[in-house]
Every structure is written in structure tokens, then in C-alpha cells.
Amino acid sequence: MVTPTIAYINYFPNPSGSLIPRVKIIIIIKQSSWDRPGLLVDSVAVEESCTSPFQRAILLATRAPHSGDWLLAPPITACGLRLEDEAVRIAVALRLCSELGSPHTCRCGSLVEATGVHGLVCKQAPAEL
Ligand SMILES: [Zn+2]
């Protein structure tokens, strides 16, 4: 197996005015650096599979810093941090861009898609899906 390495060549001036090349070789030993090329390929494949602006928006939102911090909150009821099962189901479905229910017509007359995002913006939508 070939050990991945990165080589840099920097040029430093010497007193005579010419440049002296210095080669710096870094041997990659962290697992994350081994995984990174494959993850980048997978990331591009996922991004190219987005067929709508909605899916792309979801993907970009999940890549934002701290977008998954809510998953790290300890479920302490006294502090109001415990989510009901239904809230977790909806949050995960929105994050994964999966279907929450079947398409139907909202009380406001708009068509509600299976993704359920209309319920996030409509004041007439019921509290539950
Ligand atoms: Zn509505």
C-alpha cells in the first residue's frame, strides 16, 4: 500500500539573491485524511443527485456549521430540551428530505406536498401532520 503524502516546494531567497528550494514532505497518517478523497467523491455524487432547488437547499442547510447541534442536546425535560417522538420524526424527515405524509390540500387551499414543508410557513396548517 502506498502511503499518501503531500509535498510542498517553497523557495527562499539567499543573500546572493537567488532562490533556494526547500521541499517539505508531509506523510498523512490520520484516518480522516485517508477518508477525505472518498468523502469528497460521495459528496459530489449526493450534490449532483439533487433534482430540485428544495433538495439543494436542504443539502446546503445540513452542511452549515452547527446544523446538527440539536442532536447533541441532552433530553432533559425540566429544561425543555426533550423532544416528543413526533417532533423528532418531523425534524429527521425534514433533514433527510423524506416524505412526511401524503399530498393533500391545506385549509388555506394550497397543495401540500409529501415533504410537509408547507406546514412550516402556513398559519392555517394544523399543528400536527
Ligand atoms: Zn396552508
37-64 pLDDT per residue, tens: 888 899 888 888 888 888 888 888 888 9
Domain membership of residue 124 as a residue range: 99-129
Is the separation of the CB atoms in 28 and 34 below 8 Å?
yes
* Report field, pTM of the whole predicted structure over 0.75: no
> What is the total count of domains within the chain?
2
Burial of 121 (0-12, 13-18, 19+ CB in 10 A): exposed
57-71 pLDDT per residue, tens: 888 888 899 998 988
What's the gap in Å between 126 CA and the centre of ligand 1?
A: 9
How far is it, in rounded angstroms, from Cα 128 to Cα 125?
A: 8
What's the gap in Å between 68 CA and the centre of ligand 1?
A: 28
What's the gap in Å between 14 CA and the centre of ligand 1?
A: 72
Q: Is 60 within the bounds of a domain?
A: no
Q: Is 115 within the bounds of a domain?
A: yes
Q: Is 27 within the bounds of a domain?
A: yes
What's the gap in Å between 127 CA and the centre of ligand 1?
A: 11
Q: Is 93 within the bounds of a domain?
A: no
- At residue 127, the pLDDT reads 67
* Last residue in a domain, options 49, 73, 88: 49
pLDDT at residue 103 greater than cutoff 90: yes
Burial of 9 (0-12, 13-18, 19+ CB in 10 A): exposed
CA atoms within 13 A on the CB side of 108: 11
Query: Where do we find the cell 429527521?
Result: 92
